[in-house]
Structure 1
Amino acid sequence: MSKVRTQDLLDQFNLEIVAGEDGVHREISTSDISRPGMEMAGYFKYYPSERLQLLGKTELSFFNELKEEDKKDRAAKLCTDITPGIVITRGMEVPDALIKAASEAGVPIMRSPHKTTRVISRLTNFLETKFAPFTAIHGVLVDVYGVGVLITGQSGVGKSETALELVKRGHRLVADDSVEIRQEDYDTLIGNSPSLIEHLLEIRGLGIINVMTLFGAGAVRSFKRITYCINLELWEKNKQYDRLGLEEETMKIMDVEIPKATVPVRPGRNLAVIIEVAAMNFRLKRMGVNAAEEFSHRLTGMIDENKAGSPKGGFPGADV
């Protein structure tokens, strides 16, 4: 999880610093944002002082109607030594009492010209992305027909070579060798490449190649939501592989379970085409079309018809 400071908000959203410039390096420890309505009324028992504070039209209108003594009291209690900052929306004028308290406590006051709902939405999205749980997985991430396919498998099984073939077929590379994954929501995984190896592929015998330079900007993506995992493994003669597609495996990454398929690797198998078809079939399943289940229903129906046509409930010719 990366550290976020108040200065990052100033840089990211082009906010205007009004007071408390000395505190722009304060660290923000949570993605939660507080709108101190009850605090403006004087109730500070449960004041979340460690959160970023946001004052909109309602809060400032109430504050401006207070007596001068109450204004000083509320402002002093709002600006604590751990408050990372105060954001004023709609470009509204900041009360003098609040500016004075913020300057004394070193709490930065930032101002945005945008509406309160838009500001709080953008700030929350930014902070939740920064504070999202994070992990890294050895594998390749490719955007295949809009499906974020995470290709895993032991070293040397052919992940990068398969990704290269997919790029040649018009799909887009996100990350090779190491995939950085963050959980942005309870069921959303976003994958990207480490900056050091972004847009690069390692092909044994060739070395490092730059996919964007070779195939153009349309062959790469900076990040992609991971929705499907394909695990490549060397073919084992005595292992039974799923031939119908009725078995549904999953892979757990942090708190999220994603569908997974195991594809055996052996000479003569075109892995790129198999992964393309797997991605298209995955999209069909999400649309309610499952070829394996349809085949199973057909087979069950034929068996039932044969049983019904047999004199003793068995197959025709069973007594011969």
Structure 2
Amino acid sequence: MNGITIDQFAEELDLEIIYRPDNPETKITTSDLNRPGIQLTGYFEYFPHKRLQIIGKVEWNYLATLGDKEKERRIEEIFKYPIPGVVITRELEVYPEIIQMAKKYNRTILRTDIATTKFINKIINYLDDVFAPKTTMHGVLVEVFGMGVLILGKSGVGKSETALELVKRGHRLVADDAVEIKRIEDGILKGTSPELIRHFLEIRGIGIIDIKRLYGVGAVKTWEAIDLVIELEFWDEKKEYDRLGMDEQYAQILKVDIPKYVIPVKPGRNLAMIIEVAARNNREKQMGYNAAQELSNKVLMEMEK
């Protein structure tokens, strides 16, 4: 992503616009921030000017100790660089010198009433989400027993019908058809639905249905971390399917490995129930218990007797 405009940033975080040039030239291109306290003292050997600049109570009080001319000079040294903008926290008064230099160098000045530390945490979380690596996959995302289950498979294999059955069994729909996925901190994948089709499900022979309207707000969810991938495929009589579960399979999405099961589909199989069992089994594996390994150990012990 090339960056977000300062206007979008201000709107999303409900910031007061103190000064905005007619055509702001810079964008926010990183989630990193800078508090320019050391730059206000005159040190510019390392100045991360591409970051959003945050002026909190410490920086504001330091400027208050300077004379008018010295204050203007030091603020100008910062504003000469192509900074994306300045945010003043705690609803502090904006010094006239700051507005003067913003007009001179076409820099945007914003303000918030939130305390500095809380505001920094808020915008880091927001910008991390904006700049997170992302992709869109064709599939269905459902929350099953608190786990995000991404259901993949060819068109017509029954992904949406299986998701509908899971919703009827008390689970929640996150996305159908298009699943937007972001990689956030610690290798966690966050899945959601495009705003336009959120809460809608396509069922062949019926058409589009609104899950939120039909089943209530408790049947849908805005986003969910992806914990498990289920790939549905048409049953192939010539293919040997895993019957023990000793071989772990993974799907790699945005360089993150997610446990994966391949479930063959044929008439008579209760896919919703199978996915429930897969989710429970995956939870047990996360907690250190592997049923297939346990059975293997028992067999080996019996053979050794």
Alignment TM class, shorter chain as reference: over 0.9
Aligned position for 1:62: 62
Larger radius of gyration between Structure 1 and Structure 2: 1
Q: Which runs of 5+ in 2 are unaligned?
A: none
Q: Residue 138 of structure 2 aligns with which residue?
A: 138
The percent identity for this pair of structures is 48
Cα offset, 1:13, TM superposition = 2.6
- 2:171 paired residue number: 171
2:261 is the alignment partner of 1:261? yes
Q: Deviations over 1:190-214 (max 9, x none)?
A: 1111223221111111122111121
Q: CA deviation at 1:69?
A: 3.2
Alignment of 1:179-190 (within 5 A): 179-190=179-190
Cα distance in 2, alignment partners of residues 80 and 288 from structure 1 = 57
Partner of residue 311, structure 1: none
Q: Which amino acid letter does the alignment assign opposite residue 79 of structure 1? A: F
Q: Which amino acid aligns with 2:206?
A: L
Please list the CA deviations of residues 114-134 of structure 1 after superposition, one character each: whole Å capped at 9, or x if unmatched: 221101010111111111111
Q: Deviations over 1:30-71 (max 9, x none)?
A: 211111122111112332222210012222222222343332
Query: What one-letter code is carried by the residue in structure 2 that aligns with 1:228?
Result: L
SS in 2 for 1:87: strand
TM-score where L is the length of structure 1: 0.89
Gaps of 5+ in 1: 306-320
Q: CA deviation at 1:77?
A: 2.1
SS in 2 for 1:50: coil
1:2–1:198 Cα change, 3 Å: farther
- The Cα shift of 1:12 comes to 2.6
Pairwise CA RMSD of aligned residues?
Answer: 1.9
TM-aligned CA deviation for residue 24 of structure 1: 6.4
Q: TM-score, normalised by structure 2?
A: 0.93
2:216 — aligned with what?
A: 216
Aligned to 1:280: 280
Give 1:312's aligned residue: none
Return the offset for 1:99.
2.3
Most deviating of 194-203 and 147-156 = 194-203
Distance 1:143 1:25, change over 3 A: farther
Q: CA deviation at 1:25?
A: 7.9
The one-letter code matched in structure 2 to 1:63 is L
Amino acid at match of 1:195: E
Instruction: Report deviation, 1:19.
Output: 3.2
What is the number of residues matched between the two proteins? 305
